[in-house]
A and B are shown apart, each in its own frame.
Chain A
Amino acid sequence: MRRANLIKSSAFRLTLLYMILFGTSVLGLLAFIYLSTIAVIDRQTEDTIDAEVRGLAEQYREQGLARLIEVIRLRSSIEGQDYYLLTDPNLRPLAGNLSAWPKEAEGAKDWVDLTVTRNSKGQEVSHDVRAQLFTLSGGYRLLVGRDTHERTNIRSIVVKALGWSVAAAVGLGLVGGIVISRRMLRRVEHVARTSQGIMAGDLSRRMAVTGSGDEFDRLATSLNAMLDQIERLMTGMRLATDSLAHDLRSPLTRLRGRIELALRQPPQAARDREALADVLRQAELALSTFDSLLKIAMAEAGVGAADLRVIDLAAVARDAAELYEPVAEEAGIRLRIETQGGAMVRAQPELLAQSITNLIDNAVKNTPSGGEITVAVGLSRSSVTLRIGDTGPGIPAVDRQRVLDRFVRLEESRSTPGAGLGLSLVAAVAKMHGAQLHLGDAGPGLVITLIFPIAASAHDSAEWRAVTEA
């Protein structure tokens, strides 16, 4: 199983491929060297024979056949790499160190390759010889040759080298392939094991990062980032469903109680209608609570974070303030709007608008008649700040974190309607938008600050999109 894995691994296949490529190139290189060397040796041999022949031809031309025989005899007596044979027209040897006209040279003309057997120190040794053939006037025949054992030696060296290098390539390739693919397999197997563990339910497991910064590390890092995101979403969703189940229980219980109470009493048209109206109101309340919870859960889990748009926060704030302006006026509150242009943020318009109306709604509910609410949007180089201040009682410092939790309503606001989800939504939306949410003291009153990272203007963002999508 493991071995099969090894052979199937792409690292091993890659090594094998490299091995074949490497072997082929070694083969080609050796062939080239061999052929070039052989060519040089052949030329040298032929040059030597040419020189011999020129010498002999000179002697023959100047002093005739007798002198040629004499010279050949003289040269043949020297033990060396040269071979001579001069025969009469009937191929009977006249002089030279070959005993007979070789069979290979019988029909041949000009150049010929022969194998000559020579008696050397009592042993029959065969030699490879390259020879040139001539026919002299009168039908005399002359053979001048030279031993080519160097060429044979080279060939055997090359063949041996070939064998060794192929063996080395195969050996190194195999060992290297096994080592490399084992290393890779180990890491791949780690990834596989980890993901199996995660699939089995342990979402907290992560791929090991060795710190070498190689491809595996990069893969592990991005897998881990993906897992982090999945875990965040999962946790968010689990929290959401848990709290939904928990939070809906109480309004539904109230609803059920109201119905039971009505049913226990004897029928009476007017009272029954009143009970029905009450039940409808309770049901609507439960539904709107459900909607708010769902929105909070989704914002917290970052659902919809993918379709953020670049919008003008000032415009959103102005619209929301304008919506509340008559309500504020009726309550005797002055609503001031101070905005600056170019307050571009990346946001989900509807959630942003709802958050701002929630904040203004709270401010209107908590500000006494004669008070003032300020909705201000300002911007710096890197951020856009939304500030909503009122002149109400404010929130004591100890409670400022707590009011962001779901269903938390401070004692002072029990008399006003609301489920205690408004600020929770604002907090969730702020988190989703990467904005900081601060609750502060306006002395007197509460000031809520939301600091968003500034987004490039619409024009810039189009350019940026073009760059990033290219």
Chain B
Amino acid sequence: MRILMIEDDAETADYLRKGLGESGHVADHAATGPDGLSMALAGTYDALIVDRMLPGLDGLTLIKSLREQKVPTPVLILSALGQVNDRVRGLKAGGDDYLIKPFAFSELLARLEALARRGGAEDAVATRLMIADLEMDLLARTVRRGGRKIDLQPREFRLLEYLMRHAGHVVTRTMLLEGVWDYHFDPQTNVIDVHISRLRGKIDKGHAAPLLHTVRGAGYSLRAPS
């Protein structure tokens, strides 16, 4: 992926560039709002990382002007402002996701990959999701693996749907809490792990090739056996 970082803190930018490079992505860097805006308008990027507080032009105004000029590149907002209102304002301005500083790099990477994928191939209102022999009918709200029906609770269904929509990519616990439960905080106990292991019990048990994998130190990934 080609990624543009608009971030005024040189150290953060450097750390991000290294991390993204190691993950096989190419990252350009702009240190001010106006530079960032012109680079975002000129270049073709798969995703943008935009800090909220930038010299010259603040992040939200930058995103607004991008959207006014019909630039659809997905934007991940980075911010030290973590209040609910701040997040809502960021998404309203045209941001696609919001990550509060400080963050774990694995979290940033997972969200960025999810965003870039969504920006690239927006699956036109799919009614059926499929990974290997696991299929989900979004209209009938049924799940089958290898043709056999699997009974899921409504929340388990949404959890699996989220994982299937992000199939092949790492999904973090925080992403699941936000995407499935709409919780923007971390419960103290790691409740997500238990939900995942339950789900795993339902979809992988009795099958030779597991689909739901734990990615150490990052989260989970649903993918077809290679």
Contacts and interface: CB of A to CB of B under 8 A. Distances in A.
B188 A417 contact: yes
A330 B189 CA distance: 13
A365 B188 CA distance: 10
Contacts of A303: 83
Interface string B127-161: 00000000000000000000000000001000000
B102 A287 contact: yes
Interface in A243-292: 284, 287-288, 291
A365 B189 contact: yes
Contact of B194 (A287, A327, A348): A327
Interface in A77-105: none
A324 B181 contact: no
A215 interface: no
Contact of A357 (B104, B155, B187, B194): B187
A162 B158 CA distance: 92
B184 interface: yes
A326 interface: yes
A223 B186 CA distance: 40
A394 interface: no
A323 B184 contact: no
Given A319-B181, A348-B84, A350-B84, A326 B198 contact: yes
Contact of B185 (A307, A326, A330, A354): A354
A348 to B, nearest CB: 7
Q: Interface size bucket, A side?
A: 20 to 34
Q: Binding site of A, secondary structure by majority: helix, strand, loop or mixed?
A: helix
Interface string A286-308: 01100100100010000110010
Contact of B189 (A291, A304, A361): A361
A117 to B, nearest CB: 96
A323 B198 contact: no
Contacts, number: 52
Contacts of A307: 85
Given A287-B102, A330-B194, A323 B187 contact: yes
A444 to B, nearest CB: 22
A439 B184 CA distance: 27
Nearest to A283: B102
A327 B191 contact: yes
Contacts of A417: 188
Contact of A358 (B82, B84, B188, B198): B188
Contact of A350 (B155, B184, B191): B184
Interface string B170-203: 0000000000010111111101001100100000
Contacts of B102: 287
Contacts of A348: 84
Interface string B46-90: 000000000000000000000000000000000000111100000
Interface string B84-123: 1100000000000000001010000000000000000000
Nearest to A294: B82
A364 interface: yes
Contacts of A350: 84, 183-185
B109 to A, nearest CB: 16
Nearest to B195: A326
Interface string A33-46: 00000000000000
A334 B104 CA distance: 35
Q: Binding site of B, secondary structure by majority: helix, strand, loop or mixed?
A: loop
A298 B188 CA distance: 20
A362 to B, nearest CB: 9
A65 interface: no
Given A287-B102, A327-B194, A304 B84 contact: yes
A244 to B, nearest CB: 14
A5 to B, nearest CB: 45
Pick the most buried of B82, B83, B155, B185: most chain A CB atoms within 10 A of its CB.
Answer: B185
Given A287-B102, A353-B183, A323 B191 contact: yes
A201 B83 CA distance: 29
A422 interface: yes
Given A287-B102, A330-B194, A322 B155 contact: yes
Contacts of B184: 350
Contacts of B188: 358, 361, 417-418, 422
Contacts of A319: 181
Contact of B191 (A287, A324, A358, A418): A324
Interface string A323-364: 110110010000000000000000010100110011001001
A326 B194 contact: yes
Contacts of B187: 323-324, 354, 357-358, 361
Contacts of B185: 350, 353-354, 357
A417 B188 CA distance: 8
A327 B187 CA distance: 12
B191 A288 contact: no
Pick the most buried of A324, A326, A350: most chain B CB atoms within 10 A of its CB.
Answer: A326
Contacts of B82: 291, 294
Contacts of B195: 323, 326
Pick the most buried of B84, B85, B155, B191: most chain A CB atoms within 10 A of its CB.
Answer: B191
A96 B85 CA distance: 107
B204 to A, nearest CB: 16
Nearest to B155: A322
A160 B181 CA distance: 91
29 contacts: A287-B102, A288-B186, A294-B82, A298-B83, A303-B83, A304-B83, A304-B85, A322-B155, A323-B187, A324-B189, A326-B194, A326-B195, A327-B194, A350-B84, A350-B183, A350-B184, A353-B183, A353-B185, A354-B183, A354-B185, A354-B187, A357-B183, A357-B185, A357-B187, A358-B187, A361-B188, A361-B189, A365-B189, A418-B188
Given A307-B85, A323-B181, 10 more contacts: A298-B83, A323-B191, A324-B189, A326-B195, A327-B191, A353-B185, A357-B185, A357-B187, A364-B189, A422-B188
Q: Which 8 A-B pairs have the closest CB atoms?
A: A326-B194, A357-B187, A354-B185, A327-B194, A361-B188, A327-B191, A326-B198, A350-B84
